[in-house]
């Protein structure tokens, strides 16, 4: 998720505070602190990883995508997500776990 945030902050430009959305979920990202990166190669690698993660998220079924984005982008707790989605907390936990595992697996196989 940090790679996605870094990518969108970079695209917005330093200090712009622009809003972006991934399939209708809006997120405000702070400006990219480019001095945290050691070299241009690391910046490019982070952007490529971010794009890959964004692509994977865009291909997720709607319920899995919603659960992940509510947790990662909106910072909601599992019980809050469960209430919002109208399902048990355990279901929310399993959905988020499955999505994270799938993203991790796909990103590791691309490396």
- Residue 1 and residue 55 in one domain: yes
- Residue 98 and residue 72 in one domain: yes
- Residue 3 and residue 50 in one domain: yes
For 1-55, the pLDDT digits (tens) are 666 665 555 554 433 344 444 444 444 333 344 445 567 777 787 788 888 888 8
Residue range 81-108: average pLDDT?
Answer: 93
- Residue 35 lies in domain: 1-59
Nearest to 22 by CA among 78, 61, 65, 64: 65
With beta carbons less than 8 A apart as the criterion, state whether 23 and 73 touch. Answer: no
Strands (E), 1-70: 19-22, 25-28
- Residue 20 and residue 41 in one domain: yes
Question: 111: domain CATH number?
Answer: 1.10.10.10
């Amino acid at each position: 998720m940090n790679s996605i945030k870094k990518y969108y902050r970079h695209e917005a430009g330093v200090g712009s505070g622009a809003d972006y959305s991934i399939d209708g979920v809006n997120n405000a990202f702070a400006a990219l602190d480019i001095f945290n990166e050691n070299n241009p190669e690391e910046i490019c690698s982070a952007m490529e990883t971010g794009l890959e993660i964004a692509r994977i998220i865009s291909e997720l079924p709607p319920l899995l995508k919603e659960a992940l984005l509510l947790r990662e982008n909106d910072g909601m707790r599992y019980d809050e997500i469960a209430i919002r989605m109208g399902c048990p907390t355990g279901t929310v936990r399993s959905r988020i776990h499955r999505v994270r595992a799938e993203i991790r697996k796909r990103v590791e196989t691309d490396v």
